[in-house]
Amino acid sequence: MGKKILVIGGVACGPKAACRVKRLDPSVDVTIVEKGEEISYGACGLPFYLEGEVGELKDLTTTPVGVPRDVNFFKAVKGVDVKLNTEAVAIDRKNKKVAVRNVKDGTQEELPYDKLVIATGSSPVTPPIPGIDLEGIYCLKTMEDGSRLKNAMENSPGKNAVIVGAGLIGMECLEPLLKAGFTCHIVEKLPFVLPALLDEEMAVPLMKHISSKGVVLHCGDGVESFKDNGQGRVSKVVTEKTEIDADLVLLAIGFRPNSQIAQDAGLEVGRMGIITDAYMRTSDPDIYAGGDCVASFNIVSGTYMYAPMGSTANKHGRIIGNNLAGWNTTFSGVCGTGVCNIMGFNVARTGLTERDAKAQGLETITSLCPAPDKPHYMKGSKLIHMKMVAEKYTGRLLGVQILGPGEVLSRVDTAAAILKGRGTVEDVFETDMAYAPPFSPAMDNLIVAANVIQNKMDGLISSYAPAEVKAKLDRGEDFVLLDVRTPKELEQMKLPYDNVVHIPLGMVRKKAADELPKDKEIVCMCKISLRGYEAARMLKEAGFDSEKIRLLDGGIVAWPYEKIVNM
């Protein structure tokens, strides 16, 4: 028998590493220990099980042809031994042994290894809030969590649900709860939803969308306690600003890496998880680690981040398996790419948000480009909002955020590939993206966003973000908002400010000199600011001071503040 490989953790990274090394080197003896009762399941499918998109919970544990990935499957098909209900409690690096405990009967034993893989995953954040242990408060991480939450949704004493945290899990659970008849409240400490994925101006359209579906948002508010109904069950969520009736509470504050066993063994561990090198080796060359328990290197910022994603965990497992078999495979890192669908709104992000980039000390230049995902003449075209972030003087792409009912996945994946190559906005423009009217405009939305940034870098236009224009309005600054949309568009939607001047684009050359002041700043806009850009160029051509001509990024579609709508 060959060398002994012991894997701690049996959800994503662990089984992938075990099966990969066994395929490459059949002589190895591979054992997985997993403290739970299931192995190799699709945890990311849990919200869709709650919604009914996944028929049975066991479907998350099967192969594409319906074969259960259980202990017998791993032994017969993969040649890998699995010990379920077995928790690793300590690593003896000197003697190369791991102490494990049977979680059902408490018995302990030591398992030897030549090479060890730590794939212990993550756990939900559960802060010490008074009342957090009351009945009716749930997390969603494991299959057992999914079963308990599904049962609670079906047998809840009432229909008031409170989600604590507006991250991915919390937002993905909105639709299952609404479909089950619950009134949903979201409590988020930060001022907007999906704060780890989006900048605030990009989160606003999503917040308006979910609010229109009846979700009550409590952003910029934190939970102080959970009230007991007198029988050990939650009855209210007490926040810093209010009290909310609650029959069911979902804690979705986030996850933290399960790295304690590595830390106790003296391995290098940081705030975001176990530290590994490009080969996924820990500070002990005989111990590898991957998945949600490790810190991920961000290839855009050059710093470590916490990126607990099933896709990343599987990549880690493959690389670890390769290297256990004697290969030399490296992993360069992640971009922080993610995608989700929230009540009909697709949301995607890769790279850095503007907020993240500034926190890293990077000078940024951005574009805000709402537009249809297909040519306007195609039936079924849908709006998507896109924000692109680049480095100010080099044009290096830093990140992209996309959301709306339209198609986002291909665009965020393209952006992620360009980020991997440290590409620029010019590289985005030159990317040979597929085109046909059923799929995209001739100049894809991603390319348009890159071209806007290139125009800014080339000095063709200067712009204000919506938040900057709103700040100027709030300060009472004397400037002109030039709206160049058609009269029909103006009847449907307009901004309620006294400094708005309406001149349709086709009349700008004729009327600008007589109707616009040359001593004031003029901020040009239209529906999405494509025509606003044309108007700005016309004003410069007409002799207006180029230093006083600006563009409103994203136009009225991206304006998240007051609007008069007569649809």
Known catalytic residues are 44
CA–CA dist 529, 167 (Å, integer): 31
In this structure, the chain runs to a length of: 567
Compute the distance between CA of residue 329 and CA of residue 24 in angstroms, rounded to an integer. Answer: 13
Distance CA(386)–CA(369), nearest Å, equals: 5
Angstrom distance (rounded) from CA 372 to CA 368? 13
Distance between CA 466 and CA 559 in Å, rounded?
Answer: 6
How far is 542 from 558, CA to CA, in rounded Å?
A: 28
Gap between the Cα atoms of 262 and 276, Å rounded? 12
Q: Note whether 325 and 24 are within 8 A (CB).
A: yes
- The radius of gyration of the chain's CA atoms, rounded to the nearest angstrom, is 27
Closest of 412, 290, 393 to residue 351, by C-alpha: 412
Distance of CA 410 to the CA centre of its chain: 15
Instruction: Decide: residue 395, CB within 10 A, 0-12 exposed, 13-18 middle, 19+ buried.
Output: buried
Query: Angle at which helices 200-212 and 466-474 pack, to 10 degrees?
Result: 90
**HSE (CB half, 13 Å, CA atoms) of 293?**
29
Sheet holding 549-552, edge to edge: 463-464, 549-552, 521-525, 479-483, 500-502
Q: How many CB atoms lie within 10 A of CB 43?
A: 20
SS3 161: strand
Angle between helices 508-515 and 530-541 (to 10 degrees): 60
